[in-house]
Amino acid sequence: MVRRGSDGVDLARFCHADIAIAAITASPQPNCPCGQVLQAALHAETTRLRVCFPVILNLVEKQENIVQPLDHQQQLFMVESDQLYRAWIDALHHARSYRYGMRWMSSKGRQYLLRRQDARGNGKSLGPRNAETEAVYAAFTEGKVRAKARLQTLSERVKNQTRLNRALRLGRLPSIVGDILLGLAAARMEHDFCVIGTHAIHAYEAMAGVHCRMELLASGDVDLLYDPRRHLSIVTQKLDQGGLLGLLRKADPSFVPSRDAPFRAVNDKGFMVDLVIPARDMRDATDVTFGQDDLVAVELPNLHWLVNAPKHDVVAIASDGRPVMMRVPDPRAFALHKAWLSTRQDREPVKKGRDRAQAVLVAEIVLAHLPTFEFDPAQLRYFSAEMLQQARRTLAGGDGIRLPGIDF
């Protein structure tokens, strides 16, 4: 007996269709011969289903295209990775505070305790040798041993967590980006640069506990946003006169400046790192650079929206399983800025569609998974009313995304 729904559709065939759709979205491994045969069969089944059940298939594919929530084990590992990374980076900074050391120095027949402050041997005298300075030296030596031991213990735990993250396929962020971010964190510069552009979505995934389609996250470059209102001398000192390029070369020695774009470094695999800042007043013509022969930041219009937006320090997972922290703009700011960017007449056509798709993706993540991030104009005062209107219209068109609170 054939069971039919109210619209006359064969319910048994519908169930088979649902199973087939689930199998199709499972994506068998293309390198496996059996998987290739199965993929071909499923492709043929997909074609048949598009004729028999076009509406059902489109709805399933649309849902599949949005986000995939992490399972409970993955969520647990994300929480543990976040906690471990924060403990590890604190231990690393504490251990590095001892790196230049402390020693006794003789001068004019007396010994003085010298606390080194940099790699060039500069330091500060803590006074002549006596009971007090000997106690200071002993406490320093003991503290250095404890800091080293704590760092070793946490480093081992991070290594174990890295293997677990890799086993559960939590890694999303390209390893080269992870290397750069770890280099910034080791130099205490994780708060000096903000990741904008495509790779920021990895942080929003981590915030929401979801995974998105990788084709919307793939990118061969990373944009580092710097706020030119910060004192350059402080950042330059952290970079130890090697500049940003020197830090990039610690992650990958093949990074070289681009001949045609002084704000860009490129490695042997073609991966690019861009140093960007918001457009400034014409009277401010000072180059933003952190050393001789270093990258020189390029000014981009309307980045002041992102530089003024709230920032979030999020632990994401690199493709090799390592937890890394990245500073990103508020996800609402990202979605609205991308939506606005997709309407720009001077934007390359090939990028506009991707801008809009990423704006829609992040807006949906916020609406569905980050309920505390409300699209409230009072919380988005760093955007102009005109920009908010344009972004709202862009997101509402086609995909019908309504941003509660942004109604003009």
Torsional class of 163: left (φ above 0), alpha (ψ -120 to 50), beta (otherwise): alpha
pLDDT of residue 349: 87
Residue type, 26: A
* Mean pLDDT to the nearest integer, 42-52: 54
Q: Which residue has the higher pLDDT, 46 or 285?
A: 285
**Which segments of 342-384 does DSSP mark as H helices, in order?**
349-369
Q: Which residue has the higher pLDDT, 193 or 240?
A: 193
Choose the weakest-confidence range: 107-111, 222-226, 256-260, 327-331.
Answer: 107-111
Choose the weakest-confidence range: 23-27, 156-160, 221-225.
Answer: 23-27
Strand 264-266 with 272-278, pairing: antiparallel
Query: Does residue 171 carry a pLDDT above 60?
Result: yes
d(CA 339, CA 355): 7
* Mean pLDDT to the nearest integer, 178-191: 95
pLDDT of residue 18: 40
Q: Which helix (H) or strand (E) is 139 found in, with range?
A: helix 131-167
Query: Does residue 210 carry a pLDDT above 90?
Result: yes
Q: Which residue has the higher pLDDT, 397 or 145?
A: 145
d(CA 34, CA 54): 28
Query: Does residue 278 carry a pLDDT above 90?
Result: yes
CB atoms near residue 226 (< 10 Å): 21
* Mean pLDDT to the nearest integer, 314-332: 97
Of the pLDDT bands very low, low, confident and very high (cuts 50, 70, 90), residue 376 is confident
Q: Which helix (H) or strand (E) is 277 found in, with range?
A: strand 272-278
d(CA 210, CA 192): 27
Give the model confidence (pLDDT) of 301-314 as tens digits: 889 999 999 999 99
d(CA 277, CA 302): 10
Burial label, 395 (beta-carbon count in 10 A; 0-12, 13-18, 19+): buried
d(CA 82, CA 206): 10
Tokens 């041993």 sit at which residue? 145
Query: Does residue 27 carry a pLDDT above 80?
Result: no
Tell me the CA distances in angstroms from 230 to 37, 241, 288, 290, 331, one per residue in order: 58, 17, 10, 12, 23
pLDDT of residue 16: 40
- Determine contact, residues 315/82, Cβ cutoff 8 Å: yes
* Mean pLDDT to the nearest integer, 356-377: 93
Of the pLDDT bands very low, low, confident and very high (cuts 50, 70, 90), residue 26 is very low
pLDDT of residue 37: 54
**Which segments of 67-123 does DSSP mark as H helices, in order?**
72-96
What is the chain's mean pLDDT, rounded?
84
Give strand ranges (E) for 158-247.
Answer: 193-196, 210-212, 221-226
pLDDT-above-90 percentage for the chain? 58
Query: Does residue 351 carry a pLDDT above 80?
Result: yes
Q: Which residue has the higher pLDDT, 406 or 311?
A: 311
pLDDT of residue 233: 84
Give the model confidence (pLDDT) of 64-86 as tens digits: 557 899 999 999 999 999 999 99
Choose the weakest-confidence range: 99-103, 136-140, 310-314, 368-372.
Answer: 99-103
Query: Does residue 234 carry a pLDDT above 70?
Result: yes
Query: Does residue 399 carry a pLDDT above 70?
Result: no
Q: Which residue has the higher pLDDT, 188 or 30?
A: 188
In the numeric block, which tokens belong to residue 62?
A: 């649309």
Of the pLDDT bands very low, low, confident and very high (cuts 50, 70, 90), residue 46 is low
Of the pLDDT bands very low, low, confident and very high (cuts 50, 70, 90), residue 34 is low
Of the pLDDT bands very low, low, confident and very high (cuts 50, 70, 90), residue 193 is very high
In the numeric block, which tokens belong to residue 253?
A: 């020695």
pLDDT of residue 45: 57
Burial label, 229 (beta-carbon count in 10 A; 0-12, 13-18, 19+): exposed
pLDDT-above-70 percentage for the chain? 82
In the numeric block, which tokens belong to residue 292?
A: 């001789």
- Determine contact, residues 255/265, Cβ cutoff 8 Å: yes
pLDDT of residue 10: 41
Q: Which helix (H) or strand (E) is 203 found in, with range?
A: helix 200-208
Q: Which residues contact 139 (CB under 8 A, 6 or more apart)?
A: none
Choose the weakest-confidence range: 11-15, 33-37, 50-54.
Answer: 11-15
In the numeric block, which tokens belong to residue 248?
A: 């990039």
Q: Rounded to two decimals, what is the model's pTM?
A: 0.79
